[in-house]
Chain A
Amino acid sequence: MPTSASKTKRPTKRAAGRPRPELIFGDLWEYDPAPETADPKLQPRYDLFIGGRFVAPASAKYFDSLNPANETKLAEIAQANAVDVDAAYAAAKQAFDTTWGKLPGKERAKYIYRIARLLQDRAREFAVAETMDGGKPIKESRDFDVPMAAAHFFYHAGWADKLDYVAPGRKVAPLGVVGQVIPWNFPLLMMAWKLAPALAMGNTIVIKPAETTSITALKLAEIFQDAGLPPGTVNIVTGFGDTGAAVMNHPTAAKVAFTGSTEVGKIIMRSLAGTDKKMTMELGGKAANIVFDDAPLDQAVEGIVNGIFFNQGHVCCAGSRLLVQETVAAEVLAKLKQRIRTLRVGDPLDKNTDIGAINSKAQLATITRLVAAGVKEGAKMFQPACKLPAKGYYFPPTVFSGVSMSHRIAREEIFGPVLSVLTFRTLDEAVEKANNTAYGLSAGVWTEKGSRILKMSTELKAGVVWANTYNKFDPTSPFGGYKESGFGREGGRQGLLDYCKLT
């Protein structure tokens, strides 16, 4: 392969024998704590949201939602069983048959616009709630999750009266009631990703948030009430895996959409094998982030950091495998370690925190187990010196170098702040390694050469390819995977097509 202009490093002027120059990232100027103090306006107890009202669960059972940053209880969440899920589907069916399903697109648009605007109004409150419930840094919930959720509603609102342009040559119609199950890594944002296109198309919905992160979904229900959304249009049932299974398997559902692990996705596909339900699956990933030697290295390092440490690495499209060209591997690794030393791990509500809390005790155990496997298999581990809070679930940013394709940490989705670094020599080798996985959600490419970007984008088996950037999302941009990362797309025109039937 014609490699990029090889780097002609200037002979170093540093005198032999002198110590290697080091940068000091010490405590000369420690930032004082800067906690976000906006009131998240939490209720002590959250009921199910069915037919436009908050209703107690049939079982009368509730479970605790914990703040993973300090293991304190935030609120009680209703535990829905099959009876509640039936009620939710009945409400959704009725709304589809009588109200929401009958509205012209132009009027549906106005409701969805209202939701977007009301969410923008209460952005900070939602951001604080999201951070407390899920552990993500406040700067991410404030600057990414909440505004992006509002943007998804805003974008899809505009489609509701323009559906004639979605499928050239055909007319589109809503499917009916859709069942949706969403994960805990972006609770509010996944809610928006799922609801907005379904609503724009005229469907009604039964949705189940993840058990560790139900609060912002139920706060969004308050906004549905304020917006005057017809009762039953969106119904929220909270609970554990059995609740999710009831939502996915309900006979009323014309379509189900699931975001979560590949393992659970396969279970859902098996259980629906005897039905004709439409499906969207957005599952796991093990993305390759590929750095060529002509790349802008400091920006690549920034992209690597953003790719794997964004949201503590709880991102299905995280750039968890760094593939770096051998000629610059040492330089990239050195820059990466330096950058990681300045990351601040700790209280998610502190405005200066870069890496927050791991979402749950169970996830922390998974990460710990896989990292131990990496060490045992002989990969070289780097973790910066950082003090983790005594209470709560935390894991330091971790980089493994000397990783090969047969290591478990190079194959299994860790879903944590753990990066595996591999090297390559040629473009073909990079492509081969990147595609050597059952997953195919996303990939990153770093190079100054435009034609190489397009070549890589052509060769990579992944639903999203980021070039000289990483972890970028937009309501207009379809997202979803190849292979065992799932099927169906969310966002853009492609996403809308997954929520309609062609007539």
Chain B
Amino acid sequence: MTRLPITKTPKVYVGGAFIRSESGRTFPLKDAAGNFFANIPQCTRKDLRNAVAAAAKAGPGWAKRTAYNRGQILYRLGEMLEARKADLADALAVGGASKSAAVKEITATVDRLIYYAGWADKYEQVLGNVNPVASPHFNFTVTEPMGIVGLLAPDEAPLLALVSLLAPAITSGNTVVALASSAQPYPAIVLGEMLATSDLPGGVVNLLTGFRKEIVPTLATHTHLRAIVGVANATERKTLKLGAADSVKRVKLHQTEESVDWFADKAQSLYDLRETLEFKTTWHPIGA
């Protein structure tokens, strides 16, 4: 007698918990062969609102962690992914990735996390300054995380691109609300399960699944978000920039029309980290 396997109910990772969409809606995901795979939460604007609230709650604590601690946690996340390569490969296979393509994407993803783990206690040493002002003052510029960052992941390299976009933001102490690829949402579901078993505090990364047309307008106008990063098409870019203007959000978007090589060394950089940093300069007198 063959055993009927237990199928997993995909849930999204928000505020450190696994939840269904507040709307109660899902959309069916088919595997590469066109067979039904699972129902994926169709997150809506209210889910986005709740995710932003979760990110806001986690933010101050995460930003106050020492840089060394954030670095160790990101490294631990890398360890968790490396040890669960098989799970991730299965998740990528749902979207049709070959075994070798999946392995390539997963190892690049782990290496990307390790790369940013290393930056956690170093970016300040490169981006910060002491400024030789022409007066008896000690003047220095330090960075601070912006706050809550909205993220739009592309369809290609659904795991690697998502991690490449969120890692630099959280390295410096930002929190992230991300919309995973609509076409290939399942790797983000599995990634959430790994975030939950790393030492990353709940709410630092919040992963939503659903449709861009539902999420993008809210992402654009939610005034608590301080920055938006990711990949968007021309229409979306305009919507996001218009919305951003109302609350002066920082917007840094790749264009869907020009495909990004997420595997290249160019796809990781200190300057991606800089996109979600504020700079603060302090003046202090020098005297007896």
Contact = CB atoms under 8 A, between A and B. Distances in A.
State yes or no: do A and B touch (Cβ within 8 Å). Answer: yes
Nearest to A110: B114
Size band of the A side of the interface?
A: 20 to 34
Contacts of A161: 115, 118
A261 B6 CA distance: 68
Contacts of A451: 284-288
A106 interface: yes
A158 B138 contact: no
B71 A158 contact: yes
A455 B288 CA distance: 6
Interface stretch (A17-25, A61-69, A149-157, A305-313): A149-157
A390 B115 CA distance: 53
B122 A158 contact: yes
Contacts, number: 65
Interface in B94-134: 111, 114-115, 117-122, 125-126
Size band of the B side of the interface?
A: 20 to 34
Contact of A452 (B67, B122, B125, B288): B288
A267 interface: no
A493 B122 CA distance: 9
Interface in B111-168: 111, 114-115, 117-122, 125-126, 138
B83 to A, nearest CB: 13
A26 interface: no
Classify the interface of chain B: helix, strand, loop or mixed.
helix
B117 to A, nearest CB: 7
B286 A458 contact: yes
Interface in A344-401: none
Interface in A251-280: none
B86 interface: no
Contact of B118 (A1, A158, A455): A158
B168 to A, nearest CB: 13
B270 interface: yes
B118 A109 contact: yes
25 contacts: A2-B288, A106-B111, A106-B115, A109-B118, A113-B75, A158-B71, A158-B117, A158-B119, A158-B121, A159-B122, A161-B115, A165-B122, A450-B284, A450-B285, A451-B285, A451-B286, A451-B288, A454-B284, A454-B285, A454-B286, A455-B286, A458-B286, A476-B121, A476-B125, A493-B126
Given A455-B287, A493-B126, 15 more contacts: A2-B288, A106-B111, A110-B114, A155-B121, A158-B121, A158-B122, A161-B115, A162-B118, A162-B119, A162-B122, A450-B284, A451-B286, A451-B288, A476-B67, A492-B125
Interface of A: 1-2, 106, 109-110, 113, 151, 154-155, 157-162, 165, 427, 450-452, 454-455, 458, 475-476, 492-493
